[in-house]
Amino acid sequence: MSMIYGERVRLRANEREDLEKFYAWVNDPEVTQGLALNMPMSMAEEEKWLNAQRDPHEKPLSIEVRKGKGWKLIGNCGVFSIEITNRNAELGILIGDKTEWNKGYGAEVMSLLLRHCFGTLNLNRAFLRVYAGNVRAVRSYEKAGFVLEGRLREAVYKNGKYDDVLIMSVLRSEWMAKMKEK
């Protein structure tokens, strides 16, 4: 499968060489604050994750941004839990390189994943789960067109307190309407 290109970002298949950075990121409490990761992760677990058998459409993708004439790995993302009949799937993203937060890359990646979901995978609904306290993430998803759909009250316990889990989604019809505006 060819790479997915945006203006400043590209999504490519994961490589074994990426694992060192992934390992550092999933063990960084600042990065995992908004994720369902509570235990230290080993390199063996990372390798298992990389090599897991999954639907080819659900393979995680590495996020790279333009740096000079080359590309820099900053995180990973993916589409998972694809439901064939419902044409529905969940999206996820992790930008592990904290120096690259708040530069609009998250919103661009999610826009690319939406284009992939609707334009390539022919899905009808793409949703995600985000902790209410993860304000940066919520704002980034709003910029990409996600709308708040529901709130699972106190559904997660993290760092000594409960937080709500928000469900945000984009429907194919909404995405099509937005494309026509452009």
Ligand X SMILES: CC(C)(COP(=O)(O)OP(=O)(O)OC[C@H]1O[C@@H](n2cnc3c(N)ncnc32)[C@H](O)[C@@H]1OP(=O)(O)O)[C@@H](O)C(=O)NCCC(=O)NCCS
- Which residues of this protein are in contact with ligand X, per CB under 6 A? 31, 34-35, 75, 93-95, 101-107, 130, 134-137, 139-140, 143
Please identify, using beta-carbon distances, which residue of 154 and 173 lies nearer to ligand X.
Answer: 154
CB of 85 to ligand X, least distance (A): 26
β-pairing verdict for 88-95 and 125-131: parallel
**Cα–Cα distance, 109 to 106 (Å, whole number):** 5
Please identify, using beta-carbon distances, which residue of 31 and 114 lies nearer to ligand X.
Answer: 31
Please identify, using beta-carbon distances, which residue of 6 and 104 lies nearer to ligand X.
Answer: 104
Please identify, using beta-carbon distances, which residue of 5 and 53 lies nearer to ligand X.
Answer: 5
Q: Which residue is nearest to ligand X (CB)?
A: 106
Q: Which tokens hold the place of 177?
A: 């309407």
Phi-psi region of 122 (alpha: psi -120 to 50; beta: other; left: phi over 0): left
CB of 28 to ligand X, least distance (A): 9
Give exposure, 144-178, as e/b (b: 16+ Cβ within 10 Å): bbbeeeeeeeeebebeeeebebbbbbbbbebbeee
Q: How many residues does the chain have?
A: 182
Residue with tokens 């960084």: 28
Please identify, using beta-carbon distances, which residue of 21 and 136 lies nearer to ligand X.
Answer: 136
71: exposed, middle or buried (C-beta count within 10 Å: 0-12, 13-18, 19+)? middle
